[in-house]
Amino acid sequence: MEFVAATNNAHKLAEMRRILVRMGHTVLSQREAGVLLEPEETGATFEANAAIKAQAVCEACRKPTIADDSGLCVDALDGAPGVYSARYCGRHGDDEANNDKLLEELAGVPEGKRAARFVSSICVCLPGGRCAVFEGVCPGRVGFVRRGTNGFGYDPLFIPDEVGVPGGGGTAENTQGRSYAELSAAEKDAISHRGRAMERMEAELARFLADGSVIGMTCGNACITVADKAEG
């Protein structure tokens, strides 16, 4: 299936495209679809912001559209930075400053109290208005220093509980304490919040395309949510 990815973030586009292509889909960027929108993310939840982006771009291009809204939720910070992850420092998209801010906020917090989780809400919208949102969660913790050069955003600081096993061998405990940014693409995609959300989407896509239903909860205005039950 061909999707338009509702994002102007080159790193996010590359990751979404990598995962979706592996699933057998084709992905167009907004630019390739002739859409130059930057929808304002006014929602209070990842789910709401993903829906805002997917619906706006879908209406503009009249093609099936997929959007992601995601962020890091830290227990010791009462869930912050959360939906403000991309602009935690006060400026949108400044990864270095956002990581600095996170480390400052967690100064003095011991390792045992640095639990965090990455959350992704993936929204699929079809021309005509039907949408579904799929959630993925990756639990882990925030490190004390940046490690690794792969990925983007908070990847150098986030240490997931599990890592993917190369060759499609499932997952394993992250005994070496490697950060997202120290993982290969395959190791990350197998356990990442975005990868898990898209796996849920893929599992329900045929049903959704056929009759608009998925196994989940309605969230208003023809939008259906499938949450990551395993992670709460």
Task: Show which residues are catalytic.
Answer: 69
Which residues have C-beta within 8 Å of that of residue 1, sequence separation ≥ 6? 24, 25, 26, 64, 205, 209
Separation between Cα atoms, residue 169 and residue 8, nearest integer Å:
33
What's the helix, strand, coil split of the chain in %, to 5?
Answer: 35, 25, 40
Specify whether the CB–CB gap between 174 and 158 falls below 8 A: no
Pairing of β 65-74 and β 26-28: unpaired
Backbone angles phi, psi at 145, to 5 degrees: -140, 155
Specify whether the CB–CB gap between 108 and 144 falls below 8 A: no
Separation between Cα atoms, residue 86 and residue 203, nearest integer Å:
29
User: 171: how many CB neighbours lie within 10 A of its CB?
Assistant: 14
Specify whether the CB–CB gap between 139 and 160 falls below 8 A: yes
Start-to-end C-alpha separation, the chain: 30
By three-state DSSP, how is residue 82 classified?
helix
